[in-house]
Every structure is written in C-alpha cells, then in structure tokens.
Chain A
C-alpha cells in the first residue's frame, strides 16, 4: 500500500492485469455496416413486408437502389455488388423515414420516393419512370410505355427494360402487360404478377378474359371516348353504355376518340 507514490498499483499488480482485460471485447458486427451505409460508402438494406412476402430494400443517399424477395443474404449482397459495384450492408433500421415510406407506397399511398437508377441507360430509366405514372389498380401495355417515351417501335426493348427493373414493386413494372392485354411475364414470376395486380384491384382474371376475347378497349356510347379497360374513366362506364373494341382503328371507325387520360397507344402512334 505504501508504494503508491512509485507505482499506481503497488501491491496490486493484479488490478493492472484486470484493467487490461477490460479491453478484451468485440465490437458488434452491426457497427461497420451501419457506418458504411450512413456515410454513403455502401448501400444499406433491410427487410420489409410486401404483397408477395418479405422483400429486401436497398438504399443510399440518392434513393432506393434495389428490391428483391428476401432470401439468402450473401447471395443478395453478391448480386447487388455485381450489378452496382457497391456493397450492400444489412441495417436494422434504415435511415430517416424510408421504412415507413416503403410501407406506405406498397399500401397504395402516393408518397414521395427517390430511386437510384444509376447504371441504367437513359432509355431504361425513361421506361421505368413512365411505369411510375400508371395508377394503382390499372395496367398499360408495353406498347403504351414505348409510345409514351417517344420510341413507339421499341416495344420489345421496353419489355426488356421492365424485366430488369432493379426496384420491382416500388416502381410498378407489374402494371405493364402484354399488348394483347394478357398479364404476361414478370421478373418475380407470372403468378406473383397476378397476385400483386389482384391485391391492387386490377382483376387479372378479367384482363385475361378480355384478352382471350380479343378485346382491348372499352368505350362509352354517351361520350364516344374509348379507354384501356382499367382506366379510371372506363371503370365508371355503366354496363349498359359500355362497348368493347378489338382495336383503336375499330373504335375510330365507329366514331370514338381516344381517352386523354389513359392515352391508348394506337392513338399516340
């Protein structure tokens, strides 16, 4: 005890060792991911519920960068890095209000959401941004997207761009259907597409029934305007006043003009 002046520990060398042992701890594995995502050196990602089960949502300071059904984490991270050149880090709680915004958007509310579409061509980005304009509960054919972005002949390319949508569900590529009206394929599976459309109120069975009958448009014999069948205006036509057309040309020949809201592609082109 009296050796204090010379040595803090005096007769207690054990205390020194015990204090040094307090350094023997490991930082939680969540530290580095949270920092990397927090400073924008990588993207953070988290799991969120969706109409087709849980999804991973990746994001950075530019916006949402990926959506993928929840699966093996390392596989998701590898695919993400291959596509973007950036690493994805799992985070418990995403920055800001993103988790709430994702939930709101998937629930059908129109909340502002930014997307990080770097790495996609201008054409691909234009296709995806156009798909964002399709209201919930409605669908538009690939030809509509192509015509609307000023490339009416690039229908197949528009389909390819939608098939490679890095943020499915949040950019609703599932609302784009075949030009004959059938719901068609989807990156996450044709059945998933129908399930999402059903959840959104677009009634895929009816879409397929119309397509099978070769019918693509509904018109109102009062207004003499024709629309895509899921257009809000077409939905409001009472059954007694509703007429169906196989093509825009048939509608035009009957004296109908195209709806200015849903803008049938045949009229645009």
Chain B
C-alpha cells in the first residue's frame, strides 16, 4: 500500500505498543466516520454496519500480523478507509442489487410526497433529515468511481493526498473524480431547490 508514513499518528503508536489493549479505543474513535463512509457508499444502514464490522475484523487480523514498528508507522486513517472501501467493493461484486438497499430507498422516498396535511408543517429538523436521506440516495446512486471520491472528499473531509492513497490513484486523478462526481450529482438532482432552498 502506497501510503506515506506518518509517525505522528498517536493512535497508531498506541496500537503498536499494545494492540489488544488499544484496539477497542481505536474502534470507538473511528467507528462513526467509517460507518458514515460505508453508509454513503452502500446507501443502506444494515450493509454499512456489516461492512464496518468486517473492516475492523480484517484490520485487527492484519495488524496482529505486523511488527510493532510497522503498526506505529501506519497512516491509520487512510489505511482504515481503504480496508472499508475494499470490503464494500468485495461485497458489491458478490451480491447483485441488494434487495435491502432498494427497500431502504423506497422507504426513504427519493422524491417523497408531502404526507402531512395542509397547514400542518413538519418541523425543521424532520425536513433536514428528509433532505439528508434524499441527498444520501443521490450519492449512493453515483457511479462507483465517483462515489468513493466524492464521499471521501466531501463527507469524510479527507485531504486529496489521503484520498489518492485510499483510491490507489494519482492525486490529480482523485481530484478529477471528485469534480466529475459533483457535476454528476448536480445533474442527477432534479429539484435542486430542495437542496438550495
């Protein structure tokens, strides 16, 4: 894996010093963002949970085979995102369109009908949640090569150097994939005002 060494990664140092004792703490730090990553890739919470679990199990097995210095020198964040992405891709290859995922989309309603009676305005929080579900569905529908790039950049907030490492691409390629992904995302959203307001 071509990931620059970052000896400053404090969590990696702790894992190197005591893998068994620090692994749970590492998961506590990373589980929400890896779950968000897996959720936006798969579009489905059940799949995302299994992906993150599997990614952690694989990462533990990999780490327990590494010497301590190698663990301590690991750029942990891109390494974990990369494992998560690999798990997602392996599953996606195995299983043809996940039924759960389609159900979840249908439930979320890509273009929901206003269910509340006239004059009974849903509160702002519910509206925002609905908007997030909608956008999440559009993101999950992006072609794979753009989806991962867009999510890593704009949901996970990773710098391009790390995105390039996760995707195994040159930085320029990663940038261009993010850019095209955003273009496509905008094109795919028919009611932009629902996002723009």
Contact = CB atoms under 8 A, between A and B. Distances in A.
A39 B60 contact: yes
B3 to A, nearest CB: 22
B49 A28 contact: yes
A183 B47 CA distance: 51
B195 A31 contact: no
A30 interface: yes
Contacts of A31: 27, 31, 35, 49, 52-53, 56
B53 A8 contact: no
Q: Which label, helix, strand, loop or mixed, suits the secondary structure of the A interface?
A: helix
Contacts of A4: 183
Nearest to A5: B179
Interface stretch (B99-107, B130-138, B162-170): B130-138
A14 B194 CA distance: 11
Interface residues of A, number: 27
Interface in B1-55: 20, 23-24, 27-28, 31-36, 39-40, 45, 49, 52-53
A36 interface: yes
Contact of A8 (B33, B45, B182): B182
Contacts, number: 94
Chain B binding surface, main DSSP class: helix
Interface stretch (B69-77, B86-94, B153-161): B153-161
A186 to B, nearest CB: 36
A15 B178 contact: no
B152 to A, nearest CB: 11
Contacts of B32: 25-27
Given A12-B186, A22-B139, A27 B196 contact: no
Interface string A1-16: 0001000110010111
Contact of A25 (B35, B57, B183): B35
B150 interface: yes
Given A14-B195, A19-B139, A22-B136, A32 B28 contact: yes
B61 A39 contact: yes
B154 A19 contact: yes
A122 interface: no
Chain A CB within 10 Å, residue with most, of B24, B33, B57: B24
Contacts of A25: 32, 35-36, 39
B195 A35 contact: no
A34 B155 CA distance: 26
20 contacts: A8-B183, A12-B186, A12-B196, A15-B196, A18-B135, A19-B139, A19-B154, A23-B157, A24-B132, A25-B36, A26-B32, A26-B35, A27-B31, A27-B32, A27-B35, A30-B49, A31-B49, A32-B28, A32-B31, A39-B57
